[in-house]
Structure 1
Amino acid sequence: MAKYGLIGKNISYSFSKGFFNHKFETEKRKDTYENFDINCIEDFPNIIKNTQGLKGLNITIPYKESIIPFLNKLDNEAEKIGAVNTIKFSKNGQLIGYNTDHFGFAKSLEEFFPFHKKTALILGTGGASKAIKYVLETLNFEFLTVSRTPNGTSISYEAINRDIINKYFLIINCTPVGTFPNVNSYPQIPYHLLTKNHVLYDLIYNPAQTEFIKRGFAAGARVTNGISMLEYQAEKSWAIWKS
């Protein structure tokens, strides 16, 4: 029997535990998957030390970047992205970091092609946004990052005006704003300027309809949450663990 799990903070809402345990039950596997909810990344070694039979882990907010110094090796794509959401335990005991978020996002984005224009606004600058940028660069999107603390490579939410909205047609929420239980929160963008040519993509999947999605739909935009991305990246994680 192998053990798998999710490393994160305040992750009782997580999709992964239910997804994998259902998978194991359906496939009549004796493997298990559990949540490891930690207050700081410095607690990570204790999980490794105290959990027998670990074969793989997923990593979520806020540790996709801070987990990297604890790993022995990164695969090429995780190194390029600069964030890890999957760890494989090698036969010699090494911890190898991968990123399957980019695969999940790219697969889930396919149903929205063709876009009015291949332009995107990325809301947030955390670990999740790095995988999104990687995909958009690969797909030759022009994109702009929005941050609460803007710098030379990003703009503030207050700077999003009609010209910005009229230029960028895919808007991706990479922040945790709107996640359960804070379901009434939403990124501060001018929703009234959205059109039917826009696509709003929320990486959040709990709740299924965030305020971000509701407001985009009300303005006529196409919308989606992050559940299909999660399913694709989870299956990719499983393929890595079993390889």
Structure 2
Amino acid sequence: MLLDLRIADLRYNSEIPDGTTNIISTRYGILKRTQNRVWVDNYQKRYIASAGDWVIGVIVEKHTENFKVDIGEVHPAILPSLSFEGATKRNRPNLDVGTLMYCMVVMANKHMETELSCISPYVKKEWVTGQGLYGQLKDGYAFECPLRLSRSLTNPKCFVLNCLGELLKFEVAVGLNGKVWVNSGSEIETILITNAILNSEFMNDAQTENMIQLLVQRAS
């Protein structure tokens, strides 16, 4: 598959050299595009990190200068302790092993450890406020889903999330590594939202809407 990078408003990550006008996909799948993002939607089972990905992971090691985070790759990724908005050597997060994190991949290379960051280029909130886009995910429930489904959930027009949002109040964080975090007003609603997301993978919009209505009726 050959893709012309000269398409207007198309952005590409740092792994593609400057001046490149064409790239060839090495994986089979369906070419999809939303606004200025293009990707090949395939059925890979194991997550392979790519710069710019949003991921959810668990801290598995704690060191002075960094944390090791399990994001589903063969080896844990590195999250520097200063890679938080407003963090300094005297004022930085003190996170424990087992903490659930929402991060962005800033470097991915098969010859080096994947590097993560909790600094957002869009939301400038210091880590101490707890209002940043990335950081610790408190409370709620995290679950795994197929990589293909997690990619579809990041689409602003994702039908299942928009349909649920019309009926329930909840927070959701989606990792492109096949992990999703949901936090709502009650355990029952959280379970309902989780089941709705997982059930929707192979449903069309009409089937998804009917399924959600049925789940809501059973939970009420």
Same fold (TM over 0.5): no
The two structures have a TM-score, normalised by structure 2, of 0.30
- When normalised by structure 1's length, the TM-score is 0.28
- Structure with more helix by fraction: 1
Q: Which has the higher strand share?
A: 2
